[in-house]
Amino acid sequence: MNTLLLVAGIWCAITWAIHTFVGGRSSARPLLAAGDLKDTPKYTQFYCWHIVTILLAAMAGGLIYAAFAPGAEDLALLVAGIAIALALWGLVLPRAVGQSFAKMPQGFLLLPIGLLGLAGLAW
């Protein structure tokens, strides 16, 4: 068993839960309730929110699987790379649009997943 990949997978599952339950209340519900948005951008954003939900669940599953499956390094590398790419964007975007990391913590939630994943592969 690769402990670092397992921890990365568990952290990703926690991030999924935060996204799903906290993000659902703080982002998805207000988005749907926004009366000043046209339907196409509103429901496209809602669709994208669900894509992230599915992606985080798949990433968590992939890392947990890779933690126990010999030869699954490629899967772990793919997931870690995705996490790092998303984390970097999550660290740049809040500052670019004048938001605080407290309101947009995505980069800080995803960065440990990618770093732990890479560390697990290097170990």
User: pTM of the full predicted structure?
Assistant: 0.93
DSSP annotation of 71: T
Give, for 43, the enclosing helix (H) or strand (E). helix 39-68
What pLDDT is recorded for position 123? 86
Angle between helices 3-17 and 39-68 (to 10 degrees): 160
Two tokens at 77? 């590398």
Over residues 72-123, the pLDDT tens digits come to: 999 999 999 999 999 999 999 999 999 999 999 999 999 999 999 999 999 8
Which pLDDT band, with edges at 50, 70 and 90, does 47 fall under? very high
